[in-house]
Amino acid sequence: MATSPINMLSLYTEFRAAPAGCDIGAEDFTRMPMKLIHELIRLGGERDKRLANIHSVTGARLTGVILSIAQSFSKQKSQPVSIDNFLPFPIEDDNPFLVETREIYKKLITKRKLPLHVIAELNKVINPSR
């Protein structure tokens, strides 16, 4: 291979940290295609970003509430605070998990199986620009 052993060692360490690579030993790792290794590391990184955002949502929402209360004391009209600014990683709009979640929200709203105040809050999530 054209890479140095130090790069392979760091690559293997990163691979082992990914959820898909934790059960694969060094011998099996050396026989895997590099594209597969790269893809597994990339997917593991995306998963870690999603988990970091999930664990930070309550703190971001609390910060948004506190800022909204503080802004209500000022006499100037201000825009509602977006929690995206307080998350460790930006939320991607084309993320398949978010797209699927929005579709589920839309189905629940059309079936009217939810209370009206919940539908109003979900509408903010589905149509954030309004």
pLDDT digits (tens, 9 = 90+) for 50-86: 888 888 888 888 888 888 888 888 877 777 777 778 8
The Cα 103–Cα 100 span in angstroms is 5
Looking at the fold, whether 49 and 74 belong to one and the same domain comes out as: yes
Looking at the fold, whether 73 and 105 belong to one and the same domain comes out as: no
The Cα 58–Cα 66 span in angstroms is 12
Looking at the fold, whether 37 and 79 belong to one and the same domain comes out as: yes
Residue-wise pLDDT tens digits, 18-47: 888 888 888 888 888 888 888 889 888 888
Main-chain dihedrals φ then ψ at residue 31, nearest 5 degrees: -95, -5
Q: What is the pLDDT of residue 130?
A: 47
Looking at the fold, whether 51 and 38 belong to one and the same domain comes out as: yes
CA 72 from centre of chain: 30
Our count of domains for the chain comes to: 2
pTM of the model: 0.57
The answer on pLDDT for 115 being more than 70 is yes
Cα end-to-end distance, the chain, whole Å: 54
Looking at the fold, whether 29 and 43 belong to one and the same domain comes out as: yes
Looking at the fold, whether 4 and 60 belong to one and the same domain comes out as: yes
Q: Which domain holds residue 119?
A: 92-130
Residue 72 tokens read as 């209500």
Q: What is the pLDDT of residue 9?
A: 82
